[in-house]
Amino acid sequence: MHDPIAQESPDSDGAMHLRTHFLRRLAHDIASPTGVTLTVLEELATADRPRPELFAMARRSLKRLIRLSEHLALVAELENGTVEPELAATDLRALTKQALDDALSIDGRKDVVATCSLPGSPLVTAADPRLLLVVFREVIGNGLRLATSRVEVSVESTGKVVSIRVEDDGPGFSDDARESLGERFVRRSSQRGLGLSLSMGIQLVRTHGGTLSIETSRLPPGRRGTRGAAVVISLPSTSNDVTPAGDSA
């Protein structure tokens, strides 16, 4: 089995650097929400009245920890080649809306406006909704974390292909980041986290016969004057006559 952290020999300086860098990021991503949750619990223990805003902070922090554990488990499965999508007729319109709601509950910000443009009828494909939800949620979450003021999510159908497009007005991707897009732990400029989302997303989308690509955002430049990124997920569609999983016949 090859090393999920580095492709080099475990004794090489490059592999050691990547391993150390990864562990530092992992420690930070665990410590940050854990620290917030602990602080909230201590505040609630001495509060003399209900504090719903503190409960909201704790809930968000715990969701971040759960997300991190899900990501690490999925990466392990991908490295071992044990990810097998359980395909079902899936409405990508509804899945995108759910992903946006989930992402907003964790990464939503008061200074960033998120809009969503969805078609009026279902857009169905054979997919594993659990796996695609992870991809959609993380792509949208990255946009929310990095945007300066705006994120736009849209779903479009062009013949036999459904495209989910997530645009932001953040820092965009450097040329180096674009070239290493499929590699583990590569992050956008100023991006927080372990850099797992896009590499994991590319692999999961490929298991569905689709592609994940990066373009320059069509949104106006953000407050920092930069053109953001557009992440485009393209998936094959099936007949809209197929009933999505969970819907009545």
pLDDT score at 244: 54
Helices (H), the chain: 13-46, 52-80, 92-107, 129-146, 175-179, 197-206
C-beta of residue 219 within 8 angstroms of C-beta of residue 175: no
The full set of domain ranges for the chain reads: 13-80, 88-236
- Choices 2.60.120, 3.30.420, 3.40.50, 1.10.287: CATH for 13-80: 1.10.287
Read off the pLDDT of residues 25-84 as tens digits, 9 standing for 90 and up.
667 677 778 888 888 888 888 888 888 888 888 888 888 888 888 878 887 888 788 888
pLDDT over 60 (residue 248): no
Q: Is the dihedral of CA 14, 19, 24, 28 positive or negative?
A: positive
Read off the pLDDT of residues 165-195 as tens digits, 9 standing for 90 and up.
999 999 887 766 666 565 554 454 444 443 5
Q: Which of 56-65, 123-132, 193-202, 216-225 has the highest mean pLDDT?
A: 123-132
- Is the entire prediction scored with pTM above 0.85? no
What whole-number distance in Å separates Cα of residue 5 and Cα of residue 140?
Answer: 25
> CATH says 88-236 is which class?
alpha beta
Query: CA 53, 135, 213: angle at the middle one, nearest 5?
Result: 125
